[in-house]
Amino acid sequence: MVSLESLERDVSRSGYRVTGPRRELLATLQEMGDHFTAEGLVAAVPGVGRATVFRTLRLLQDIGTLCQVVLDDGTLQYRLTSGGHHHHVVCSRCGAVNDFSACDIQGLLDEIAERTGYVIDGHRLEVYGRCADCKEVLTSET
């Protein structure tokens, strides 16, 4: 789990002052860490302006501390990460998210670049399924 101290350090290192409202925002975000929506965060910190919340979410993504998770129904959530290139496996039933770092798709990316003429800057890969708990529930229901 990413600590509040390291969050504040990351933010100040990128040239932002950690002011009172921003500290409150980071503390709340750190508590919600596993996954949360932008609206959920806005509601959880009534003392912090909406624009500041969204700006800070953007900043944390830029510095690699926060990642976006797209749920099966298209809902966008955020999740704190301790960094490193990784992807998510998302439970379609309960929304539990797990990270995995194996990303053996360089060959595919090269092929896409070749076929389309694009310079590939990034990619997103979410994998959907049922987590260990939900798998059991569904099996016992049938």
Tokens of 106: 């360089």
- Contact between 137 and Zn ion by CB under 5 A: the answer reads no
Tokens of 67: 């990642």
Sole binder of Zn ion in the list 4, 43, 76, 94 (CB under 5 A): 94
Task: Using the minimum distance from each CB to Zn ion, give the nearer residue, 23 or 130.
Answer: 130
Which residue stretch of 7-15, 31-39, 41-49, 95-103 sits at the interface with Zn ion (rule: CB under 5 A)?
95-103
Question: Nearest to residue 85, comparing CAs of 57, 112, 106?
Answer: 106
Task: Using the minimum distance from each CB to Zn ion, give the nearer residue, 2 or 131.
Answer: 131
- State the minimum distance, in angstroms, from the CB of residue 119 to Zn ion: 17
Sole binder of Zn ion in the list 42, 96, 109, 112 (CB under 5 A): 96
Distances 15 to 8, 63, 66, 91 between C-alpha atoms, Å: 11, 11, 17, 36
- Contact between 103 and Zn ion by CB under 5 A: the answer reads yes
Burial 86-122 (b: 16+ CB within 10 A, else e): ebbebbebebbbeeeeeeeeeeeeeeeeeeeeeeeee
Sole binder of Zn ion in the list 6, 59, 93, 112 (CB under 5 A): 93
Residue 65 in contact with residue 83, Cβ under 8 Å?
A: yes
Q: At what angle do helices 50-62 and 4-13 cross, to 10 degrees?
A: 90
Task: Using the minimum distance from each CB to Zn ion, give the nearer residue, 51 or 102.
Answer: 102
Which 59-78 residues touch Zn ion, going by CB under 5 A?
A: 67
Binding residues for Zn ion, rule: CB under 5 A, are 67, 81, 91, 93-94, 96, 103, 131, 134
